[in-house]
Structure 1
Amino acid sequence: MTAPKNVLAVIAPHVGGRAAGAGLATLFPGEAEVTVVERTDENPEALRAAHVVITALAPVTAEHLAAAPELRLVQCASHGFDYVDVEAARDLAVPVCTIGSSGAEAQNVAEQTFALMLALAKQLVPAHNALVEADWALPRLQRSLTELSGKTLGIVGLGQIGREVARRAVAFDMSVVYAGRRRVPEETEARLGGARHVPLDELLRVSDYVSLHAPLTDDTRHLLDAPRLALLKPTAFVVNTARGALIDQDALADALEKGALAGAGLDVFDPEPPTPALRLLRAPNVVLSPHVGGVTRETLVRIALAAVQNVAGYLAGDPPRDIVSGPAPAR
C-alpha cells in the first residue's frame, strides 16, 4: 500500500478550533494533505479519504470510524484518549495513539495541580472575593488556612504527570503515597522522596490531599464515588486535573455540602464545558478552572509537535508510539 498522506485534523472549538488547527497543519511535511475541521463529521469527503485522523478533544465515534474506510491511524493530541471509541478502532485494526511518552503536558498539569492545592490551602478565592467587597476576612478565614508542608499527598496514577506532581510535592516538604496498577521502580520512589505504593482505599484514608492523574477508562469512571469519598478525612482536599468523570460529581457535591471534605480543586468536568446545573459550581470551598492544565503557550507547541512527529513518522514508515488500542496494521 502507498504510504497514507491524507490527514484530517479535528480540533474542538473549545481548544482553539480552526485557528489552532491551521497552525498544526503547517508543521507537516509537504507531501501530507491536511484538512482542518472542528467536528469529525464536518467534512464527510475528507473523513472518507483520511488515512490519519488527529483529534484534539473532538469525539471520534464508531460511526466516524466506519465512515473512514482508508483510515490507518488515529492520533490523540493529548495524554487522554477517552473521547475516541477505542474498542471500535480495535475491531477495525486501527491503532489509536496518544502523546503519552512525550510528556508534553506534564509540566503545566503539575503546575496547575499545585496552583489549585495552594489556592485551597491559602483560601485565595474567598480571600480575594472578600477584599473586593471591602471585607477584611482574615478573622473568618484564619481557622481554614493551612500549609502543604508536612502533609501527605496521595497521587492516583504515577505516570509522567503524576511524577512531576510528586517532584513538586517533595520540594514542598510533603510525603507522597501513590496508587496504581503497578509499582514504579524503587529508584524512582527514592527520587520522589521515598514515595510509597499503597492500595487506593488506604491512600484515601491517609492523604491530606488527593490528586488524580489516571486515564479515564471503564474501570476508572467514577473511581471516586460516594463510598470512596467517605474514606477521606474531613480535613482532606481533592484535586482533579485529569478527567472529570473520574469523580462522581454529585457525590463530591454531597460531601462538600455536608462538610465531609475540606474542599476540592477542579480543572476538569463531565461534560465539558459544564452545564449551569452542575452543583459543584455552587458547592462550598471549591476552586474551579476551565481545563487550563495543558494549554499554556509552551504546552500547546509541545503537544502539536508530539502529535505531528508521531504521525509524520508513521507516514514515513516508522512504527507509531503510544498505542492504546492495539498494533498498527502492516502497510
Structure 2
Amino acid sequence: MSDDTTAPSTTPADTPADGPHVLAVVPAHVGGRAAGSGFAALLPAPARVTVVESVDEDPEALRTARVLITALSPVTAGHLAAAPELELVQCSSHGFDYVDVAAARERGVSVCTIGSSDAEKQNVAEQTFALMLALAKQLVPAHTALADADWALPRLKPSLTELSGKRLGIVGLGQIGQEVAVRGRAFSMDVVYAGRRRAEPEAEERSGARQMDLDELLRTSDYVSLHAPLTEATRNLLSAERLALLKPTAFVVNTARGALIDQEALADALESGALAGAGLDVFDPEPPPASLRLLRAPHVVLSPHVGGVTRETVVRIALAAAQNVAGFLAGKPAGDVVN
C-alpha cells in the first residue's frame, strides 16, 4: 500500500489490466484501507481491486467496477447510475439496508449479503447477552462508582436483578435471533418471539421460543432484544407508542440496526423512568453525533457496533464475502441475493 494513506490502494501493478475490476469500500470507522487491503488479498487473479474509504472517493474506479464490495458504506441510486459496468453489490454483513436495493433492481444489479454464512451470529448473540448482563447487574455504574472510590452497593442493590425466570422477547427469529434464544434458555429464561411470519418448525424447536403478537410481546417481556432487518416496514419499529407498551421494569437491547428504534422516543422513556434501561450496540447514524441524547441518557450501556467485529467474526465475514465474489467472477450464480 502507498505511503500516502489518503490515496486509494490497489492490487499489485502486475495484475492484468483487463481483469475484472472490484471496488472495495471500507469506511475509516470500520477499519478503512488497512482492512480493505487485507480483504483484497483474498480475491484471486485476474481481479483488479481498488480499496477506498467512501464510494465517492474514486469516480473512475466506480465507473469501471464490475463488483462493488461494501462494508456498511451507503450505495445510493446515484452511485449505481455512475457505475455502468456494475453487476454485483456484495454487502459484508447480514444486513443490506445501506444499499438502494430498488435502484439496483432497476439497473439489473444483484445485491448480496453473507446471510447464509452465519458469520456474525455467534458474536452478535454474545454481545446481546453482554449488554443484558451489564444491565441486570448494573456493571457500568458499579465500575464507575468504584473507580471513584464510591462503594455503591447500597445505592445499586434495589436495581440489581437476575435473568433467570424473566421473559426474553426476541423480535426476529432468524439465525441470530435463534442463537439469542438458545442462550436465553440456558439462563432459564422464558423465550418468546415475534416476526413478520411464523418461523419454521425446526427453528422453533431448536430455539425453544414461542410465537407471540408483537404488542403482546412488548407488554409482557422483561427484556426485548431486536434482531429484525431494517426495511421501510421496520424503520422505527419501536415507536413512541410501542415503547409505551413496555413495563417500567423492562430493558431494551438492540444489536441489529439503530433505526429500528425511534431514538428520541427511547431517550424520552429512559429520562422519564418509563423504562428500566437499554443496551445499544447500534445507532442511526453511525458513528452517532455527539448531540445524540441516548449517549447521555440514564441507565444505558453503549458499545460501538462491536457485535460483528471480533477477530474470529471479521475473518468469517471476509471469507464469506470473498468466496461469493470469487464465485461470481468465475461464472457461478451469486449467493444470498436479496433483490
Instruction: Read off the aligned partner of 2:236 and give its amino acid letter.
Output: H
1:189 and 1:4 map into 2 onto residues whose CA distance is 46
Q: Secondary structure at the match of 2:130?
A: helix
SS of the residue corresponding to residue 131 of structure 1 reads helix
| SS of equivalent residue, structure 1 residue 311 | helix
Residue aligning to 2:15: none
**CA–CA separation in structure 2 for the residues paired with 1:201 and 1:4:** 53
2:322 to 273, 287, 308: 308
Instruction: Report how far residue 281 of structure 1 moved.
Output: 1.0
Q: Deviations over 1:3-30 (max 9, x none)?
A: 9821100011110010000000000111
Judged with a 3 Å threshold, the aligned counterparts in structure 2 of structure 1 residues 149 and 73 are, in CA distance, closer, same or farther, namely same
Query: Is 2:335 aligned against 1:317?
Result: no
- Structure 2 residue 242 is matched with structure 1 residue 228: yes
| Residue in structure 2 matching 1:178, options 188, 193, 200 | 193
Higher RCO (CA-CA < 8 Å; seq separation 6+):
1
Aligned to 2:288: 274
Contact 1:4 1:315 in 2 (8 A): no
What SS is found at the alignment partner of 1:41?
Answer: helix
TM-aligned CA deviation for residue 185 of structure 1: 2.5
Contact 1:4 1:51 in 2 (8 A): no
1:184 Cα deviation from its structure 2 partner: 1.7
Is 2:178–2:206's contact at 8 Å kept on the other side of the alignment? no
Q: Could you tell me whether the CA contact under 8 Å between 1:6 and 1:51 is conserved in 2?
A: yes
Aligned equivalent of 1:296, options 310, 323, 333: 310
Q: Which residue is 1:41 aligned to? A: 56
**2:229 equivalent in structure 1:** 215
Q: Are residues 1:81 and 2:100 paired?
A: no
Cα contact 1:237–1:263 (8 A) shared by 2 = yes
1:246 aligns with 2:260: yes
Alignment of structure 1 residues 195-214 onto 2, 5 Å: 195-214=209-228
User: Counterpart of 2:267 in 1: which secondary structure?
Assistant: helix
Which aligned runs of 4 or more in structure 1 are off by greater than 6 angstroms?
none
One-letter identity of the residue aligned with 2:194: A
Deviation at 1:262, TM superposition (A): 0.4
Paired residues of 1:154 and 1:210 also in contact (CA < 8 A): yes
Which one of 105, 118, 124 corresponds to residue 120 of structure 2?
Answer: 105
Output aligned runs, 1:6-25, within 5 Å.
6-25=21-40
Is 1:130 matched up with 2:155? Answer: no
CA distance in 2, matches of 1:232, 1:173: 21
RMSD of aligned residue pairs (Cα, Å): 1.1
- How far apart in 2 are the matches of 1:29 and 1:156? 39
8 A contact 1:154–1:208 mirrored in 2: yes
CA contact (8 A) 1:57 1:83 kept: yes
For 1:244 and 1:184, the matched residues in 2 are separated by: 24
TM-score w.r.t. the length of structure 2 is: 0.93
Please identify, of 174-183 and 286-295, the stretch whose mean Cα deviation from structure 2 is larger. 174-183
Unaligned runs of 5+ in 2: 1-17
For residue 136 of structure 2, what is the amino acid of its counterpart?
A
Give the length in aligned residue pairs. 322
User: For the residues of structure 2 that align with 1:99 and 1:27, how far apart are their CA atoms?
Assistant: 16
1:258 alignment partner, one of 254, 272, 275: 272
Alignment partners' CA distance in 1, 2:206 and 2:233: 29
Letter in 2 for 1:79: H
Q: Distance in 2 between matches of 1:321 and 1:199?
A: 32
